Amino acid sequence: MNLPQIVQYCFAGITVGSIYAIVAIGFNIIYNATGIINFAQGEFLILGAMLAITLNHFVALPIAIALSVVITTIVGGLIEIVFIRRARNASVLSLIVITIGISILMREAMLHIWDEKVRSLAYFTGTGVSSITILGAHISPQVLWVLGVSAVIVIGLTPFFRYTLTGRAMRACADDRMAARLCGINDKWMVTLSFMISAAIGALAGCVISPVTQTQYDMGAPLAIKGFTVAIVGGLGNSMAAVVAGLMLGLVEAFTMSQFDVAYKEAVSIVILLLILVLRPSGLFGKREIAAMRSL
Amino acid sequence: MPNGKQILKFAAILFFVFSIAFCRIAFAADTSEIKIGAIFAITGGASNLGSPEAKTGEMLVEKINKEGGVNGKKIKLIIKDSGSKPENAVSLAKQLIDEENVLAIIGPSTSGETMQIKNICQENKTILISCAAAEDIINPVASFVFKVPQSDSDAVRQIYRIMKAKAITKIGVITSNDGYGVAGGKQLANLAAENGITIAFSESYDKQETDLTGILTKVKGKDVQAVVNWSIVPAQSLVAKNMKQIGLDVPLFQSSGFGNIKYVQAGGEAANGTIFPCGRLLVAEELPNDHPQKAVLIGYKNDYESRFKEDASTFGGHTYDALLVLTEAIKKAGSTDTQKVRDALENLKGVIGIAGQFNFSPKNHSGLDMNAYEVLTVKDGKFAIYKN
């Protein structure tokens, strides 16, 4: 392999890695607030993208995306109020199963509202054929958008969870719901809020990746599985780690592809997931002690 | 030892079972309508195929029945959704054969699904008219299994013909890892040597792939003169985009699965210049007025587009053809006896449909040849006949 080729594989890895990362971030919000994994996260992405594509027929792209984020946020909140809140005494596992149900429901609803056809949002800069050349290799400008938006989300979320009262209250709910309630935190609304933020991030992510991945009603699940893998590998709850892990997984897949049959790349990511689960259940960047305490 | 009560219960159950069985025979003997089953991938990965196929079936049967049916009998089309899953196709086929006693099954939409039910239909002596393209469906010939789309081997021949004209000898092949992609990859490999083509690279990608820059980077490293992509999944509009993005500036050939304007729209500017063999429906208006297919094509296109407010696709045309050859065979047989209809279908000649002119024979259960394909290209976001 010569240099441009190596750089090109890096870019291929960054392209998929950035998509994995932005999907993974959404998982972390709800996990941070409730300790559950929301398997409907992929559907939030598709819903956001579908809404933006439809709205884009009537209004300009930035407004369409903003509106779709708002609508998806409301949908996310409603889903929590209607489905999750009712099952307040359910265990974490049953709640996770409920989210799987929600994902199926949303998928079928989207099939009926839109149809089975593939759509995609316009490229934010340039078109499908434009690319930026660095060191003899090429990358689509949209990938930079995906990375940029991920960075903005992560940079915004970290202080939110660390320093704001609401953010800290959300984390408190995840740690010990009862104790948080005793401190006067309205735990119900914290969970609703976490679903809303998660849906908003999902919708934004869906819009940003739509030009690259295209959007079809049933694409949410495969995206969510990859995002989930990345969230686990990075360490659940840590958005910064999710971005790093996403890019790493993308790069590993790209270089696996360069040496072996393309079919093996999925196997490699599954092996990495298994290794992490066995050797470092807290994720690459998680602290062991915290994971140990959580499981108590 | 079973006591009297148990025996009574057993007898009651037996009676029940038999009476149900009788009902069924009674229904089957109801000769006022012809029951035809259909299995389409209305949802799932191949929904771009199944949806127009189901709509066409609905529309055409309505039209046939309005015009008095076939041999004075109305047609009842029972449409089932396979969700694009071969395992569903199996149970749906069994359901249609055992419970509905259909005369024939139209579909399934994809080659993978069709191959799963080929033997079931053959063993149960139910006519199967597939809407999928793979050569394997009719080769080796199973006496009850037919197909109406053009063969993938003929598509490959058309692609290689264009390549020869363009002096292309070294190509890279990428396929989706489903029945359609695997079958196409096989035909490309089989016919390469006799056409003087070297396949320098051939690998498949996941059918749910959302980005193909990785595999195309690998293709780029092989210095090929052209890329062939064989798939029916949405990823096929990514190929053109990703090739342009990584600066792989060689001609792109796609399979006939590209024949849906939605893929061109999703591919955007990058899709321009894509070369692919396809039926003539997409370029019906461009055909000369004396072309034998023109009237049929324009008629179907107008009917479909005015009713469903969306562009007609070749896939819907497959249902049209399947119903057309089946009804012609029933008319010719003058009966709805499965064996007689099958014999008539096997010897049906000169029927002009959407895909081309059908000339079935005991050896050729697809009825079409290489000329059923026109080579198309994309020009300014629209399909056009390819000219050297």
CA angle B248, A268, B244 (to 5 degrees): 10
Give the count of beta carbons closer than 10 Å to the beta carbon of residue B292.
Answer: 11
Compute the distance between CA of residue B148 and CA of residue B132 in angstroms, rounded to an integer: 8
Inter-chain touch A213–B211, beta carbons under 8 Å: yes
Does B251 score more than 90 pLDDT? yes
According to the model, what pLDDT value does residue B361 have?
93
Distances (CA, A) of A274 to A42, A282, A283: 22, 12, 11
Residue A124, token pair as written in the block: 């934010």
Distance from CA of A170 to the nearest CA of B (A): 34
Inter-chain touch A262–B213, beta carbons under 8 Å: no
Q: At what angle do helices A41-55 and A92-113 cross, to 10 degrees?
A: 20
Residue A191, token pair as written in the block: 């969970």
Mean pLDDT of A133-142: 84
Provide DSSP, B21-34. Answer: HHHHHHHHT-TTEE
Does A292 score more than 50 pLDDT? no
Topology annotation, domain A3-122+129-294: ABC transporter involved in vitamin B12 uptake, BtuC (1.10.3470)
Does B25 score more than 70 pLDDT? no
Q: Report the mean per-residue pLDDT for chain B.
A: 88
Does B6 score more than 90 pLDDT? no
Inter-chain touch A263–B204, beta carbons under 8 Å: yes
Using CB atoms, pick whichever of B48, B238, B269 lies closest to residue A117: B48
Mean pLDDT of B133-153: 89
Confidence band of B293 (pLDDT split at 50, 70, 90): very high
Q: Which segment of A33-42, B78-87, B110-119 scores lowest on mean pLDDT? A: A33-42
Mean pLDDT of A218-227: 87
Which residue has tokens 């908003």? A200
Distance from CA of B373 to the nearest CA of A (A): 25
Interior/surface letters A110-121, b for 16+ CB within 10 angstroms, e for the rest: bbeebebbbbbb
Does A287 score more than 80 pLDDT? no
Confidence band of B26 (pLDDT split at 50, 70, 90): very low
Q: Report the mean per-residue pLDDT for chain A.
A: 86
Inter-chain touch A222–B220, beta carbons under 8 Å: no
Residues B210-239 have pLDDT tens digits of 888 889 988 988 899 999 999 887 888 889
Distance from CA of A59 to the nearest CA of B (A): 20
According to the model, what pLDDT value does residue A86 have?
84
Using CB atoms, pick whichever of A11, A119, A140 lies closest to residue B266: A119
Residue in chain A closest to B265 (alpha carbons) equals: A119
Beta-ladder partners of B375: B277
Compute the distance between CA of residue A249 and CA of residue A189 in angstroms, rounded to an integer: 35
Residue B251: cis peptide before it, omega within 30 degrees of 0: no
Residues B161-176 have pLDDT tens digits of 999 999 999 999 999 9
Question: Residue B355 contacts by C-beta under 8 Å, 6 or more apart in sequence?
Answer: B148, B149, B150, B279, B314, B317, B318, B321, B368, B372
Does A89 score more than 80 pLDDT? no
Distance from CA of B70 to the nearest CA of A (A): 33
Q: Domains of chain B by range and CATH?
A: 31-150+294-372 (3.40.50.2300), 153-278 (3.40.50.2300)
Inter-chain touch A12–B247, beta carbons under 8 Å: no
Inter-chain touch A222–B218, beta carbons under 8 Å: no
Question: Residue B30 contacts by C-beta under 8 Å, 6 or more apart in sequence?
Answer: none
CA angle A203, A110, A231 (to 5 degrees): 40
Please check whether residue B163 is in contact with residue B171, taking contact to mean a CB–CB distance below 8 angstroms.
yes
pTM of the model: 0.76
Q: Is the dihedral of CA A266, A267, A268, A272 positive or negative?
A: positive
Does A232 score more than 70 pLDDT? yes
According to the model, what pLDDT value does residue A295 have?
42
Please check whether residue B367 is in contact with residue B148, taking contact to mean a CB–CB distance below 8 angstroms.
yes
Using CB atoms, pick whichever of A116, A118, A129 lies closest to residue B237: A118
Chain A residues lying within 8 Å of B45, measured CB to CB:
218
Confidence band of A132 (pLDDT split at 50, 70, 90): confident
Does B194 score more than 50 pLDDT? yes
Does B21 score more than 60 pLDDT? no
Question: Residue B263 contacts by C-beta under 8 Å, 6 or more apart in sequence?
Answer: A118, B48, B234, B236, B237, B271
Provide DSSP, B148-186. Answer: -SPPHHHHHHHHHHHHHHTT--EEEEEEESSHHHHHHHH
Chain A residues lying within 8 Å of B210, measured CB to CB:
16, 19, 209, 212-214, 219, 222-223
CA angle A273, A257, A247 (to 5 degrees): 50
- Using H for helix, E for strand and C for coil, what is the string for chain A? CCHHHHHHHHHHHHHHHHHHHHHHHHHHHHHHHHCCCCCCHHHHHHHHHHHHHHHCCCCCHHHHHHHHHHHHHHHHHHHHHHHHHHHCCCCHHHHHHHHHHHHHHHHHHHHHHCCCCCECCCCCCCCCCCCEEECCEEECHHHHHHHHHHHHHHHHHHHHHHHCHHHHHHHHHHHCHHHHHHCCCCHHHHHHHHHHHHHHHHHHHHHHHHHHHCECCCCHHHHHHHHHHHHHHHCCCCHHHHHHHHHHHHHHHHHHHHHCCCCHHHHHHHHHHHHHHHHCCCCCCCCHHHHHHHCC
Confidence band of A74 (pLDDT split at 50, 70, 90): very high
According to the model, what pLDDT value does residue A94 have?
87
The chain B residues in contact with chain A (CB within 8 A) are 42-45, 47-48, 51, 177, 203-206, 208, 210-211, 213-215, 217-218, 220-221, 234, 237-238, 240-241, 244-247, 262-263, 266-270
Tell me which of A124, A127, A129 to substitute to probe the interface with B (most B C-beta atoms closer than 10 Å).
Answer: A129
According to the model, what pLDDT value does residue B7 have?
66
Does B363 score more than 80 pLDDT? yes
Distance from CA of A275 to the nearest CA of B (A): 23
According to the model, what pLDDT value does residue A141 have?
87
Compute the distance between CA of residue A44 and CA of residue A66 in angstroms, rounded to an integer: 14
According to the model, what pLDDT value does residue B15 have?
59
Inter-chain touch A19–B211, beta carbons under 8 Å: yes
Chain B residues lying within 8 Å of A145, measured CB to CB:
none
Question: How many residues would you count in chain B?
Answer: 388
Furthest CA-CA distance within chain B? 86
SS3 content of chain B, % helix, strand, coil (to 5): 50, 20, 35
Using CB atoms, pick whichever of A117, A253, A254 lies closest to residue B262: A117
Q: Percentage of chain A with pLDDT > 70?
A: 96
ipTM score here?
0.77
According to the model, what pLDDT value does residue B30 have?
53
Inter-chain touch A11–B266, beta carbons under 8 Å: no
Residues B310-325 have pLDDT tens digits of 888 888 999 999 999 9
Tell me which of B175, B217, B229, B274 to substitute to probe the interface with A (most A C-beta atoms closer than 10 Å).
Answer: B217
Chain B residues lying within 8 Å of A18, measured CB to CB:
none
Q: Which residue has the higher pLDDT, A287 or A76?
A: A76
Using CB atoms, pick whichever of A119, A128, A265 lies closest to residue B244: A128
According to the model, what pLDDT value does residue A103 have?
93
